[in-house]
Structures are given as C-alpha cells and as structure tokens.
Amino acid sequence: MGHLSKPVQQTSRPGQQTSRPLQVVLLGKTGAGISATGNTILGRKDFVSKKSSKSVTADIEKQNVTIEGQDLVVYDTPGFCNPDQSEEQIQEKVQNVLKLTSSGPCVFLLVVKIDGLTEEEKRVISKVEGLLGGSLLKQTWILFTRGDELEDQTIEEFIEESDDLTEVMRKYGGRHHVFNNKRGDPEQVKSLLEKTSLCLNSTLSRSSSTLNLPERRIVLLGKTGVGKSATGNTILGGSSFHSELNPSSVTRETEMKQTAVDGRDVSVVDTPGLFDTTLTAEKLAEEIGTSIYESSPGPHAFLLVLRVNDRFTEQEKKVIEILESLFGSGLAKHAIVLFAHGDALEGNILEKLIGGNRDLSRVVEQCGGRYHVLNNKARGNRSQVTELMEKIDRMVEENGGTCYNNEMFEEAARIKKEEEEERLQREKERIQNGGKLLNMQW
C-alpha cells in the first residue's frame, strides 16, 4: 500500500478513560484541503499541506492523537482528480484504508470547499459513494473547508441556496460540519467529534435493535401536468426527476430512482402523463406498463396523482378508467389518491373538496378511502413524507404484506384482450346483421 508515517503516541489526560480509538478517514478532491483538515483535527502540522494543483499527499498517511480522552487515528488520503495518479491507483489506496479500518469505529469525512459544486467535484462525491457503499455512507460526513469565506452567512443558508448541495445533504442525511483551517480552533474539532459520536452511537443502536424497515416501491400515475415528477422529488427529498411547468409531459419514458427515506430503501417510478399528445396510445400504455417491471417484483403502492386545485372533470374520470383497464382490479387495492399542490388549498378543508364531488368521492372510496396531500414547494417538510410512508405501510399491512405483482398485470392484460375481442366480435356481427337486413329489403 505504501509508506505509513510513524504513529505519534499521546496519552490521555489523568482521570479519563480511553475507549477504542475512533478512526477518521479523510477523502475528497485534490485541492479541497484534505491534509489541512487533518492538521486541524490533530492540532499540529503533521500532514504536508500547501496550495497546489497536484495532490501533495501521494500515499496514505496516518497519525494518532487524543482529544478530550478520545483516541483518534486520522488517515490522510491522496485527492481524487490528481494528474500524477490514475483514478484506479487512488481507488485502490482508499480500498486499502477501508480494510485497515474495518475492525473498529470509523468516521469518513468527505472534504469539500465552501463553493458551488463543480462537475468534477460531483464526480468525486459519486466515486466516494460507490467505494463506501450504503452502510458506510451512513458514517460519512460532508466537511466544508474555508469556513471563513461564509462571513455572516450560516452554513445552512449557504446549502439552501444550492440545489446541488441540498441534494448532497439529502443523500448524507444532513450530516455536515464546517472547518476554518486557517484559524485551527480546537472547539470546531470538539464539536465535530460530539456530532460524529452521537451519530455512530445512533447507527449502532438502530442496527442492533430495530433492524432496517422494509423497502417500499412506489409508482406515480396520472395525467400530464399534475406534478408526478415533482411529487417523486418530494418523496425522495431531492431533484432526482426532471420537473418543470409544461403543458406536455416532461417525462417521456418510465424512470426509476431510489434512495433512503426515513431509514429505509424507497424506489419511486415516474411514468409519462396520460393524454400526452407526443406519444401514441399504444406507446403510452407500453411505457406505463413498464413500471411493473421497473419496480420488480412489483409496487407496494400506486399513487394516483391529482392537482388539489383542479376540478375533477370527464378527463380525470377517463384517466382512472384507462388505469383500471391497464392494471385491472388489483389497482384499487394498492392505490392512494395523492393530491399535489397542497399549497393551493388556502385554508380549504380537503375532506370538503372530496365530499363535494361525487365522482372524486367514488374514486377515493374505491381506493379504500386512502388519500394524501403534498406541498411540493415545501420539500424540506419531511413530516408530510413520513405521514405518506405510514399510510403506505398500513395499506401494505391490509393487503397481507403483498405488493401488486406481474401476475396481476398479466391477468389484467388477458381480461382486456378478451373484452376487446368480444367487442370486435359484436361489431362484426352487427355489421353482418345490418348487411342481411339490407338484402332482405331489396
């Protein structure tokens, strides 16, 4: 793996008990301040650090320190996007660190400069995620350097201004910290250790007592322009699906995205909107039907997306009829009516709106009385998503823990085909009988 610098042994202060050393692994892009961050944690300049377009750290380096009775082992790593080393070489060295740290408590710090994320930085974040995998990602923090450049702005305000950073924070469960490596204030290090210790204890507690919640697979259905893609983004907590105000469907092909929501894996399948004039009826049905295979072995929930401020017209009724024809009787058992644009309610009670429309009431009733409202403009309000997930859990429980499956879909297709054949036969007989009647008249 290369040379490891000699550990610096330090003793804890009298009267304090040391626990197993906490391993801290620094990762990031060349020039982000990885080594400087390591020196801030150590409280001394053991890692070589200077401004350079090339990575000053060519290999893995390790140093020990004790802070407030806690023993730390700090690993400095070569930065990604280093012209002197290939990506494969850097990845191999990071994987060696993962082997070294696998036996004890470990925290990963992904070092990012206070700045807008470049495409190169996004690629580095993606590479790190791929190397760490889902379980270790829960032990990873985004550590912003150059905190002095924030001036009077808080880090939360800075993150909120950037869709890219907001998306990153979603993936990392909001875990972040800021260093001013110029100042080297030990309090910022103590604060980081307090945060990471709480997070590690919480992670260990959850994994040993409650286990992971069951995954959920969700399919979004509805007509063009109701806000399916925006709804998917609200559920996932980011900008996974392309969403914009557009009279024609922005989503032309069925697409699945997946992430962790409230401690569980959640998959959301976005589908093209019904009545999209750019797609033929056959292509549209084919694309929407693909959602069953995308969410294999099948969705736990169909969300029938409607705009809360739209009248339930003949076109909305036609949407439900098309979907029932496509998915069969199993649709209603696994469906929740999802009202998007909840911000447009303006004090109106949703129950009154539903009760005031006979056709809409019938649809909600067919879906077991299940409905939910989302405000897609308030993506930060995660309680509305948590409540939706609880409703999906109750529905799955009512369905005996099962999902809508491929067999149900194929049965719906068989019934639809038989009905179409019967309709064509009746039409044929009608034409034939009409011809006979005409001959008799002659």
Mean of the pLDDT values across residues 40-58?
A: 75
Domain identity same for 110 and 202: yes
Residue 301 lies in a domain: yes
Domain identity same for 273 and 333: yes
> Mean pLDDT across the chain, nearest whole number?
82
Min mean pLDDT across 184-193, 358-367, 395-404 is at 184-193
Domain identity same for 149 and 203: yes
Domain identity same for 157 and 230: no
* Greatest extent of the chain over all pairs of C-alpha atoms, in Å: 118
Residue 436 lies in a domain: no
- Last residue of a domain, which of 191, 209, 227? 209
Residue 17 lies in a domain: no
Domain identity same for 202 and 253: no
Whether residue 354 contacts residue 371, with contact meaning beta carbons closer than 8 Å, is answered with yes
- Last residue of a domain, which of 177, 209, 241? 209
* CB count in 10 Å sphere of residue 361: 15
**Would you place residue 57 in the very low, low, confident or very high pLDDT band (cuts 50, 70, 90)?**
low
Task: Examine the pLDDT at 53 and tell me if it is beyond 60.
Answer: no
Three-state secondary structure call for residue 330: helix
Residue 144 lies in a domain: yes
Domain identity same for 281 and 247: yes
Q: What is the structure's pLDDT at 294? A: 86
Q: What is the structure's pLDDT at 367? A: 93
How confident is the model over 63-96, as pLDDT tens digits?
999 998 889 999 999 888 887 778 788 888 888 8
Nearest to 228 by CA among 207, 249, 202: 249
How confident is the model over 140-198, as pLDDT tens digits?
999 999 888 888 888 888 888 888 888 888 888 888 999 988 887 888 999 898 888 76
Structure letter (DSSP) for residue 150: G
Domain total in the chain: 2
How confident is the model over 422-440, as pLDDT tens digits?
888 888 777 777 655 555 5
Residue 15 lies in a domain: no
Spatial distance between the Cα atoms of 123 and 117, rounded to a whole number of angstroms: 10
Domain identity same for 52 and 183: yes
Q: What is the structure's pLDDT at 201? A: 65
Q: What is the structure's pLDDT at 439? A: 58
Nearest to 140 by CA among 258, 237, 60, 28: 28
Residue 437 lies in a domain: no
Q: What is the structure's pLDDT at 202? A: 55
Q: What is the structure's pLDDT at 365? A: 94
DSSP assignment of 72-128, as one string? EEEEE-PPBS-TTS-HHHHHHHHHHHHHHTTTS-EEEEEEEESSPPPHHHHHHHHHH
Spatial distance between the Cα atoms of 71 and 20, rounded to a whole number of angstroms: 7
Task: Examine the pLDDT at 310 and tell me if it is beyond 70.
Answer: yes
Range of the domain at 260: 216-417
Domain identity same for 202 and 316: no
Contacts of 41 (CB under 8 A, 6+ apart): 24, 65, 67, 72, 74, 189, 192
Cite the beta strand spans of 5-60 per DSSP E.
22-28
**Would you place residue 15 in the very low, low, confident or very high pLDDT band (cuts 50, 70, 90)?**
very low
Task: Examine the pLDDT at 18 and tell me if it is beyond 80.
Answer: no
Spatial distance between the Cα atoms of 136 and 214, rounded to a whole number of angstroms: 19
Domain identity same for 180 and 265: no
Domain identity same for 284 and 413: yes
Residue 11 lies in a domain: no
Cite the beta strand spans of 292-396 per DSSP E.
301-307, 335-340, 371-373
How confident is the model over 202-254, as pLDDT tens digits?
555 444 433 457 899 999 999 988 999 999 999 988 777 876 555 444 566 88
Half-sphere exposure of 13 (CA within 13 A, CB side): 5
Residue 16 lies in a domain: no
Domain identity same for 324 and 245: yes
Nearest to 146 by CA among 17, 36, 59, 1: 36
- Last residue of a domain, which of 176, 192, 209? 209
388 or 421, greater pLDDT: 388
Q: What is the structure's pLDDT at 228? A: 92
Tokens of 440: 């008799």
Select, from the ranges 15-29, 129-143, 186-200, 404-418, the one with the highest average predicted confidence (pLDDT).
404-418
Domain identity same for 154 and 222: no
Cite the beta strand spans of 222-300 per DSSP E.
255-261, 264-270
Q: What is the structure's pLDDT at 300? A: 96
111 or 376, greater pLDDT: 111
CATH number at residue 222: 3.40.50.300
